[in-house]
Each structure stands twice: as structure tokens, then as C-alpha cells.
Amino acid sequence: MSAPCESPEGLDPATAQPALRRQFGLREAVTITVGTVIGVGLFTTGGNIVGLMGPAVIVATLVAMLVSIYPALLYAEMGAALPYAGGTYQYAGLGLGRPLGMLAGWNFIISLVAVTGGEALAFAYYFKTIFLAFGVELPLPDVALACLALLLFIVTNVAGVKMTGRLQNGFMFFFWGVAAIWFITMIPNVSLPTFVTTPTFLGSMDAFGFIAAVAMIWWCFAGFETCCGMGEEIRYPSINIPRALKLAPFIIFAVNGAFQWFLVGITPIDAIPALADAAAPYADAMISAGILGFPLALLALGVAFGGDFSTLNASIAVPPRYLFTMARDGAMPKIFAKVHPRFRTPYVAIIALGALSILLVATSTLDFIASLSLFADLFYYIIGIAAALGLRRRMPDLARPFRVPGVAVGVPVSIVIYAVMMSQLGTEPLVVGALWCALGLVVFYICQARYGKPAPVSVAEALPGADELPDAAEAASMDREYRIWKIVVAAACAVVALLYIVPMLIG
């Protein structure tokens, strides 16, 4: 399988195929990854589980983080050794065979397309909530606003990866800044006794119910390996990809845990069960508590232009890299392998998947795709986890700048955990997912018959320049940046833990 990198003319000299540019550093690798995750899941599914578990939601969130850490490290190993566009598609293709590689990419694409459409609709709702907080109702349909947002990000992503990275940094830091201000404004409204008073409805949750809750909270972590999908556009990938993936699960835990704490604290205890079915749990909680005006507008502003926009930007940027790579290998129609002559972006793939998201939103068929997304996410990760062990066996001599211990045990255990979560999805997602996989295999074998199998390419040929290392001064600067990230993330996780522990100690 081929995975060419940048050359001055935009072609890999070894394979004469279109290539991408390495312009992302650690900051972009983190914000692209976390930005994909912190969005519609946090402000919908994550809030819904609060309605089922109350303050005990932090236990499910902690478990979801724990079952994400080892897979994230597996991706760190694969991403550092094989910094390809297309991530799991490439890893699984090399480690498990091309059909499974195609299924990984195929499921990743549909899962992110569903997230993209859902995020656009969430943006529309929260954008209108900014005005609704002051009693003004915008006479604009949600679908129209959602489609305009999608169109905006299609254009910016075609315009270049540097713009994508800058926008992502801006959206994520804006989100965190607004979130910090919102947290401060919400503190007087938090009721600490809620955290030590077990709601009566919690007694009905059995072990299977808890597993299902963890699976839904885990959806808020899905995407922790996103930067791997842009492996050809990350500078010094052997350093930056492992660092980003070591940080990602903990950042996601801290953000989810903090928002869940405030959601529990500001919601009247008798209104908590209603959050389980709320379309916008955070807005509904504030309204039920009578918190309107500036605080509600601030929440909506941060979600719309921080959380939603960061996810839209990332989820429109990453899936086309999978489609681009699959097409470049002949697993998908070759037209999707076209690279823009000026911006060096996979513009046909970006436009095609962006148009699909617009179509799903405009025709109100997103609910059907969303059910498929649950299956696609978990199945994609099961393939990716298995690929780590497959690569160890098929490519034992591959240079691995980062190596995960205990793969022989960790991989099977992780697969079982993710399969158990998949078993809680219900019949419809499993049936629809199986049909989606069958369709993908049909497309794959038609394309393979037409284009033939790609010629074997050695890792050295496929990755010219990917093993480049920074000079001493730049390495020291990168080390300082990483230390700052680790300190901030560790402090954030500690604060979140204390938020839940302190009320129990003083209660």
C-alpha cells in the first residue's frame, strides 16, 4: 500500500502520486484530535447520561477514559511508525489485509459524516439560543443555518491545511476561554448537596445498563486518534503523534468531567431525569433553573463558535484524507485522489463528503445515519486495535519510535471490551452496519478489478522525509511545549477529580 509524502512539486518522487504538506505541529495535532471529539457528543449524549446517572456519571466517564488510553497508545505506536494520511485504513491494510483496511476507512468515513451533520444542526440550535437568551427568536430554519456552516468549512478546508490548523487552534482556545468564564459565572448556581444525595432513579440501573451508559459516554471519546488520519501533514510525526495521543484521553476526560459537574450542580434535582431525553441538556438545564440572559448566551456562544465549529472544522478535514488515500490506492474511485494544484488539499474528497453531509441535513435523513455511526465507530476501533498486533507480526522489523508494552495481551482485551460495548447498541445499528460493510466491500472489489492491486511499496519509499528530526533548538522548544501541555492537563484532571470528591468530604 502506498502512502507518499510531500515533495516540492506535490508528488512523491518514488511513486509519482499526489502528496500532502507537513505543516501541523503538536498544538494542531492536539486541537484537531480533541476538537473532533469535544462537540455534539459532550453536549448531547454526555448530558443525557447525566439524566440516567446523576453525579455518578463521573464513574462512567472515568471508565470510558480508561478503555480509551491503551488503544490511544496503540495508535501512537502505529502513527509514529507509519505517518500516513488515512490512519487506520493504512494500518489495517498493512497489518490485516486490504479488505479489512478498506472496511476500517469505510466505517470511519460514515461515522464522521454523521457527526458532521449532527454538529451542524447543533450549531444552528445554539446559534439561535444566543439570541433566545435575550428573548429574540431568529426566523431562520435550523437546516439553512446548518447547511451554511457546512459550506463555510468546505471552502476553508479546500483552501489549505495551514488555514485548517489556524482555525482549529482558534476555535479550541476560544471554546476553552469561554468555558472558563461560563464555569465562573455558574459557580453561585451550583448546589453541592446534589452530589451527595443519590437520586431515587439510580437504583434501577443494573450492570448491563452501566455498560450501555459507558458505551454512550465513550462516544464522547471516539476520535481520540484523529491526528493519525492526517499523519502526512504532521511535522516530526515520530514525536508529535505519540505526544498528542498520550494527552488526548485525559483532555477529553477533564472537559467532559467539568461540564458534567456543572450540569449536575445547576439542574434542580427533580429535573435531572428529564435530561436523559433532552435534545440540548445544558440549555434545558439552565432554563429549568431559571438561568437566562448573559450566562445562557455565553454557553451558547462557546458551544456554537467553539465546540461546534472546532468539531465541524476537524470532521470535514479528516475523513477526506481517508477517502483520498483509499482512492490513491485504488480501493475507491480514483477521482477522490485528486489534489488541488495550488492548495495541496484533497479537494474532490473534501467537496464530496461535505456535499454528502449537506444532503443528509437538508433531506432530514441524519437520524438513520446517526444510528449507523454508533456501529461504525466501534467496529472501526476494533479493526484498528487488531491492526496493531497484525503489524507486529507482519512487519516485525518496522522502525517503531514509540512502542507499546503488552500488545499480546492488551490487544485482545481491548477488542473484547469494545465488542462488549458494541453488543449494547441494539439490533438496528448492527443490521444497518453489516449492510454498510457489505456495500463497501462491493465498491472495493469493483475498484480493485478496475485499477488492480497497488504495487508493493517499502516503508522507506513510501515515507520520504517522515523520519526527519528537529535540530537541538527546535527539539528543546518542542519539549518545553509538551511539558506545559502535560502540566496543564494533569492539573485539569486533578481539579475535576476534586470537584466530585470535595462535596462528599464536606457533605
> What H or E segment, with its residue span, contains residue 126?
helix 98-132
43 compared with 253, residue with greater pLDDT: 253
Question: What amino acid occupies position 68?
Answer: S
Q: How confident is the model at residue 20 (pLDDT cuts 50, 70, 90)?
A: low
The predicted structure's pLDDT at residue 16: 46
- Classify residue 88 as left (phi > 0), alpha (psi -120 to 50) or beta: alpha
Strand positions, DSSP E, 262-305: none
For residue 349, give the C-alpha cell: 474528497
Contacts of 86 (CB under 8 A, 6+ apart): 3, 105, 229, 231, 321, 322, 324, 325, 326
DSSP 340-406: -TTT-S-HHHHHHHHHHHHHHHHTT-HHHHHHHHHHHHHHHHHHHHHHHHHHHHH-TTS--SS--S-
For residue 197, give the C-alpha cell: 444525595
The predicted structure's pLDDT at residue 433: 86
The predicted structure's pLDDT at residue 310: 84
For residue 444, give the C-alpha cell: 472495493
* Alpha-carbon radius of gyration of the chain: 22
| Measured CA distances, 450 to 93, 320, 454 (Å) | 19, 22, 12
pTM of the model: 0.83
Q: How confident is the model at residue 195 (pLDDT cuts 50, 70, 90)?
A: confident
Domains within the chain, CATH numbers bracketed = 26-506 (1.20.1740.10)
**SS3 for 18?**
strand
What is the per-residue burial (b if ≥16 Cβ within 10 Å, else e) of 199-226?
beeeeeeeeeebbbbbbbbbbbbbbbbb
- List the single range of 104-118, 332-346, 365-379 with lowest mean pLDDT: 365-379
Would you say residue 245 has pLDDT above 80? yes
The predicted structure's pLDDT at residue 438: 95
**SS3 for 11?**
strand
- Rounded average pLDDT over 99-115: 89
The predicted structure's pLDDT at residue 491: 97
Q: How confident is the model at residue 463 (pLDDT cuts 50, 70, 90)?
A: low
- Rounded average pLDDT over 158-176: 83
Q: How confident is the model at residue 425 (pLDDT cuts 50, 70, 90)?
A: confident
For residue 133, give the C-alpha cell: 437568551
The predicted structure's pLDDT at residue 366: 57
| Cβ contact 152:354 at 8 Å | no
Q: How confident is the model at residue 341 (pLDDT cuts 50, 70, 90)?
A: confident
| Cβ contact 162:24 at 8 Å | no
pLDDT digits (tens, 9 = 90+) for 35-78: 777 766 778 788 888 988 888 899 999 999 999 999 999 999 99
Q: Counting every residue, how long is the chain?
A: 507
- List the single range of 281-285, 397-401, 426-430, 457-461 with lowest mean pLDDT: 457-461
- Short-list 454, 461, 462, 411, CA closest to 98: 454
- Helix count (H) and strand count (E) of the chain? 20, 0
- List the single range of 162-171, 296-305, 388-397, 472-481 with lowest mean pLDDT: 162-171
Calculate the average pLDDT of the chain. 85
Q: How confident is the model at residue 14 (pLDDT cuts 50, 70, 90)?
A: very low
